[in-house]
Amino acid sequence: MEAEVSKIIKQKQKFERMVITKEEGLELFADNPFKVSILTTKVPDGGRTTVYRCGDLIDLCRGPHLSHTGKVKAFAATRHSATNWLGDTENDSLQRMYGISFPDKKMLKVWKENQEKVRCLVIDFLMFARRSLMRSKHVKKRQPKALGSSEENLRISFSDPIMTETTPSR
């Protein structure tokens, strides 16, 4: 994906904003049921909407955009996701790609470093929250159950501040 975007950047393709009527949009996107649905439900009869052309691609979009793709100096594909049209599992599955661009490579490098720092902080927070939750769930269970209970096959260990239950070795 990044290699393809790099080719488009080198071509300095222009972004052309076009205002079209709802009827022109329905004709332009007649082979795309998703776009037809958007135009039908979001643009009033007799109304207008905007599309952007970049190279061979024409798409519904509010814009604005850069004047041309050559202004992008650094790009990274960040993630992708799948969903169903309108969030309904009975509808078609759609794929979405996410990316980010910067006017220079140094800014992209800093952004990536910051994303890694955030990822580490989130992991640390989730681990802390998990430990706290486990402690709160087991505070009342600090005493082992009497022998002969339904849990007699379990050995209870108090060595860790969080009580853990393990199956004994056989």
For the stretch 47-87, pLDDT in tens is 999 999 999 999 999 888 899 999 999 999 999 999 999 88
Residues 79-115 have pLDDT tens digits of 999 999 988 899 999 999 999 999 999 999 999 999 9
pLDDT confidence of residue 139: 56
**Which CA distances in Å does 107 have to 66, 75, 76, 103, 123?**
17, 10, 12, 7, 24
All domains in the chain, ordered by first residue = 2-103 (3.30.980.10), 104-142+151-170 (no CATH)
Contact between 38 and 29 (Cβ < 8 Å): no
Residues 142-170 have pLDDT tens digits of 555 555 444 444 444 444 444 444 444 44
